């Protein structure tokens, strides 16, 4: 999955899971679940959670199903079959933009955040590479976002309760959005 290490992947998960504040009895959608590594983490931590992993890449969903055998977990490659959950999180799905322009990729990110919010009752969380990375380490095919832009987007579109985490040892940031009863909410 192109992560530098298992340690960095677990650090990313720790930042995303700050959204649920230890609530291991929630329903959670992992939007872009890959092979189900977050499900494995939740299983190891315990709780009566219900996890749904979604990925547009069918081979990844098949790999997750072959690896994760727990009745609390399900996997799908069909977004129309997803139901409302308490929380939706995504890790790394906004990093690789390939040939898309900055403007095209921003529109993709914004629409994906909206889709995540549409599935969620209580909150969403996502991470992105930061534009404050060291220039010699940056790659043309990756998307380095302005944290302020996505913080502002979430404040203006989804909730007044938004947290920007940019204080951990990776060249990225995490946004936590605690949803309330704002009129933009689609999920009952």
Structure tokens at 158: 């989804």
pLDDT digits (tens, 9 = 90+) for 33-50: 999 999 999 999 988 999
Hey, what domains does the chain have and what are their CATH numbers? 6-178 (3.40.50.150)
Q: Is the pLDDT of residue 186 over 70?
A: no
How far apart CA 103 and CA 183 sit, in angstroms, is 27
- For the chain, the average pLDDT equals 91
The reported pTM is: 0.92
pLDDT of residue 23: 81
């Amino acid at each position: 999955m192109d992560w530098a290490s298992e340690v960095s992947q677990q650090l990313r998960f720790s930042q995303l899971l700050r959204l649920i504040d230890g609530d291991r009895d929630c329903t959670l959608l992992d939007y872009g679940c890959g092979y189900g590594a977050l499900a494995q983490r939740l299983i190891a931590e315990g709780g009566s959670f219900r996890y749904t992993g979604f990925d547009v890449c069918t081979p990844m969903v098949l790999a997750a199903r072959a690896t994760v055998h727990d009745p609390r977990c399900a996997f799908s490659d069909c977004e129309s079959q997803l139901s409302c959950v308490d929380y939706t999180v995504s890790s790394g799905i906004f990093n690789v933009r390939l040939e898309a322009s900055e403007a095209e990729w921003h529109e993709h990110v914004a629409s994906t955040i909206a889709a995540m919010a549409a599935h969620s009752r209580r909150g969403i969380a996502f991470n992105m590479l930061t534009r404050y990375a060291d220039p010699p380490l940056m790659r043309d095919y990756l998307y380095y976002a302005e944290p302020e832009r996505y913080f502002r987007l979430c404040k203006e579109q989804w909730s007044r309760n938004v947290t920007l985490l940019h204080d951990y040892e990776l060249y990225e940031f995490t946004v936590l959005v605690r949803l309330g009863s704002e009129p933009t909410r689609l999920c009952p």
